[in-house]
Amino acid sequence: MPAVNAAPTAPNTIPPRALFLLVVLTLVWGTNWPLFSLATHEVSVWTFRAVAVAIAGAALLVVARARGQSLRVPREHWATIAAATLCYLVLWNIASTYAAILIPSGQAAILGFTMPLWAALFAWLAFGQRLSARLGLAVALGAAAVGLLMWRGLATYAQAPLGFFLGLLAGVGWAVGTLILKRRPVAVPALVLTGWQLLLTAVPTTVGAFVFAEGPWFMPSWQSIAVIGWIALVPMAIGNAAWFAIVGMLPTPVAGLSSIGVPMVAMVSGAWMLGEPLGPVQWAAMACSAGALWLALGRR
């Protein structure tokens, strides 16, 4: 995978590798959400998060080393990595976890994936990156897609405002962490960067697992172990590695908009696996999402 400090692509060109990684990212992250309830059926959310990020981080570093990549990170980059990890992976895991406890997990996912909107706003405020008319329309369509989905959960948000706030906070943290890496690129391969960030995330989540996990020690069933292992190695390891590679190849607003398709896949997979609703509002949101992706990634 390319280094995260790769120069952003020209505005009118999307590399084929980036398109391939976008498809991978959308599929592995979108199909992850219906598995969340299965992964936490026997263990606490904190324990699940701690184990999954540790496995994912170690696996990526092993793969990177097997490919001949150095695992060394120059000392001057650790502050940037720590700040990006705190804002994205740590804040995302903690805030989205509590949001999923306080409100339905599907609604928490939708709030978290407001990230493209925050990324575009913060890129404009911090870096003066003005959106073209085409990208501005893409952001508007993405906002419409999120708004349609959030509209169905307004009653839930009114009963649990903290869950609503934490869901949005997760999206804000993801956007800020992405912008930190764009502002101060880290000159290491994406596999190495992702592996170290996941291992750093394992530290506070492990502390949380010891503090908040309930009940005595026990061995989960093989079904729980299989689901947690799949989530650790596929959505967390492969998905995050693909995301950080995409961040290195695309401008911030385009990279952010590329994730807007994930909740759509999550809705379809949730309807198929868990029988969750999939009606006219959801289809309208998916149409807006498809339009946003076409505007952001299509040839100008």
- SS3 for 213? coil
Would you state the pLDDT for residue 196? 96
Output the tens digit of pLDDT for each of the chain's 300 residues: 344 444 444 445 677 888 888 888 888 887 887 787 788 888 888 898 899 999 999 999 999 999 999 999 999 999 999 999 999 888 888 888 778 777 766 667 777 877 877 887 888 777 777 777 877 887 788 788 777 767 766 776 777 788 888 888 998 998 899 889 888 888 889 899 999 999 999 999 999 888 887 667 788 899 999 999 999 999 999 988 888 888 878 776 677 766 777 777 777 776 777 666 677 877 887 788 778 777 776 655
- Tens-place pLDDT, residues 200-211: 999 999 998 888
pLDDT at 192: 93
pLDDT (0 to 100) of residue 54: 95
- H helices within the chain, ranges in order? 16-30, 36-39, 45-66, 78-85, 91-102, 105-112, 115-127, 133-151, 154-159, 161-183, 190-212, 222-231, 239-249, 252-258, 262-274, 280-297
pLDDT of residue 197: 94
Q: Do residues 287 and 49 touch, judged by C-beta distance below 8 A? A: no
Q: Which two tokens stand for residue 264?
A: 């759509």
**What local confidence, expressed as pLDDT, does residue 11 receive?**
45
Half-sphere exposure of 120 (CA within 13 A, CB side): 23
| 228 alpha-carbon distance from chain centroid | 17
- In single-letter form, the type of residue at position 232 comes to A
3-class secondary structure, 252: helix
Q: Where exactly are the structural domains of the chain?
A: 16-297
φ/ψ bin of 296: left (φ > 0), alpha (ψ from -120 to 50), beta (otherwise): alpha
Return the bridge partners of 3, or none: 189
3-state secondary structure of 3: strand
Residues 113 and 260 sit within 8 Å (Cβ to Cβ): yes
- Amino acid making up residue 99: A
Interhelix angle 91-102/190-212, nearest 10 degrees? 50
Rounded Cα distance, 250 and 6, in Å: 9
Q: What is the pLDDT of residues 61-119, one digit of tens each?
A: 999 999 999 999 999 999 999 999 999 888 888 888 778 777 766 667 777 877 877 88
pLDDT of 78? 94
Of 105, 142, 128, nearest to 273 by C-alpha is 105
Q: Which residues pair with 189 in a beta bridge?
A: 3
Residue type, 31: T
Classify the C-alpha dihedral 99-292-244-7 as positive or negative: negative
Residue 71 φ/ψ, nearest 5 degrees: -90, 0
**So what's the pLDDT on residue 246?**
86
pTM tops 0.75: yes
The two three-digit tokens of residue 143, written as one number? 């906002």
Neighbours of 25 (CB within 10 A): 24
> What's the pLDDT score for residue 156?
66
Contacts of 159 (CB under 8 A, 6+ apart): none
